[in-house]
Every structure is written in C-alpha cells, then in structure tokens.
Amino acid sequence: MKKVLTIAGSDSCGGAGIQADLKAMSSLGVYGMSVITAVTAQNTMGVNDVLEVNKEMVSAQIRAIFDDINVDAVKIGMVSNSEIIKTISELLVDYKAKNIVVDPVMVSKSGYFLLREEAVEALKKLIAIADVATPNIPEAEVLTGMKIENEEHMKKAAKLIKEMGAKNVLVKGGHRCNDANDVLYSGAEFIVIKGSRIETKNTHGTGCTLSSAIASHLAKGYSVKEATELSKEYITKAIENSFSIGKGVGPVGHFIELYKKGGMDFE
C-alpha cells in the first residue's frame, strides 16, 4: 500500500485540515499519516481559535515518520508561521521527499487568517520545493500581487507562481472564475481542467481534499496531469455528495456509500 503524509492543521469539526486529508486518502486507497502543525477550534460556522504547534514538535513528528516509513507523497496544508515553514522545507529536502503537493492555505472560508502576514514570503520558499502547488484564486492573488478575474489572469498567475520554483502549478477557479475550471501549468503547456459549478453551501474542506487527492494519485504512480484530472473528478463527486452537519458550511462527502450503508440520515 502506498503511504501519504499530510502536514497540516487539525479541524475539530472534521470537515477540513488533517481530518479531511485522511478521509480523502483512505477513500482513494492509500495509507494516510499526519504531522499536525496547529490545533484549531472550529465548527461549520467558522474558526474560533488556533493554537500553533511549536517547530520542535513539528520537526519531531516529521522525523518520526521519515526515520521509519517510506513516504510516497506529501501534502502540505496549513503552516501558520515562518519558523514552521522553514522547519518543514529543510526537513523535506534533507529526507529527499517526493511528490510534494503544497496547498497554500491562508484564510478559512469564514475569513479567519490561518497564515501570519510575515509568513507569506516564507511560504513562497515552500512552494519552491513543490511538485504541485494548488492555490485558489484569493491565494494566487496574494502570492502574485495581481487581480484574477478570468482564465487569462489565472494563466498569468500560474506562470508567476511557477517562477517561484514549483514544478507544476494548479490555479483553482472554483472561488470566482468561469464554471469552476482549473488551470494546470507545467512550464511547457497550460491544461484547462473543466469543472461544473455545483449549487451547494456545503463546501468545507474542498481545497484540502483536492490537494490530498492529488498527492494520493501521485503516490500511486499517476502523472501530474492524470493525478490532477482524477482528483478533480473526486472532489466534484464529493461536493455533489456534500451534506449538512451543523448550522453553517457542511463537509464534502468522502465516504458517502459507506454512510448510506450505515443508515446515515442526510436530512
């Protein structure tokens, strides 16, 4: 079995972060492992508080995994400060980690800043070691300093982020552009990955899920293009099967068939 590591924050309501990552990985048939960078107190209404894990503990978690287990891919999500980012990037280079997917998480859907302002430049250095970087439109705007309003803007942003060092860049259009199409840029060509906008408020964990799915498919030997296309299919189905668990934004559906077999009531 392929083994995939997620380095990210914990979501207490289980819709995003480490919890969404492990659900996506399990659903796609790889063994998920985790390094927790922060503990968040959140629910479907938003993020209430964040406690960062210190860099020493982040380092200890990473070393514990790589000293014992062959890691086939790494997904990186919430990394809130520059010290943690530096620790992660240095260790992944030292361990010669492969198939690194960086999801540059900055702000929660409820507007809570998950990345300190001082850490944006450090995050660019983490993107430099990525095999795939997966910013959404707001994140790509922060990274590039440009406004993104259409597909051509997405392509320009992808080129600018590619210049930061990432081997491939996937700019996700779901927040604002077209019909939720994404743009994948390898440096050699642009590939537009078609999407369909699904009318639902329950989209908690979409970015975490997509990046984890890409890492999982890369671990299984798919090319970046194949991994991205398969992951787009996966997240689309997960959004189609999203559901409410509280008063706000509900999670996407990872194990929808298992839930149905277990008699889950979706009302």
The sign of the torsion formed by the CA atoms of 228, 229, 233, 239 equals: positive
Which residue intervals of the chain are DSSP H helices? 17-27, 55-66, 82-94, 120-127, 137-144, 151-162, 206-219, 224-240, 256-261
Round to whole Å and give the CA distance between 13 and 250: 10
- Which amino acid is located at 96 in the chain? K
Q: Which two tokens stand for residue 208?
A: 């975490």
Q: Any idea what the Cα angle at residue 51 is, between residues 17 and 145, rounded to 5°? A: 65
CB 79 within 8 A of CB 37: yes
Give the CA distances from residue 77 to residues 29, 36, 126, 216, in Å, rounded to whole numbers and listed in that order. Answer: 20, 10, 11, 14
Q: Which residues are catalytic?
A: 172, 203, 205-208
Q: Which two tokens stand for residue 213?
A: 């799915």
Q: Which two tokens stand for residue 30?
A: 């790889």
Helix axes 206-219, 224-240, angle to 10 degrees: 140
Residue 27: what are its φ and ψ, rounded to 5°?
-60, -30
Instruction: Please tell me whether residue 37 adopts helix, strand or coil conformation.
Output: strand
| Other CB atoms within 10 Å distance of the CB of residue 66 | 18
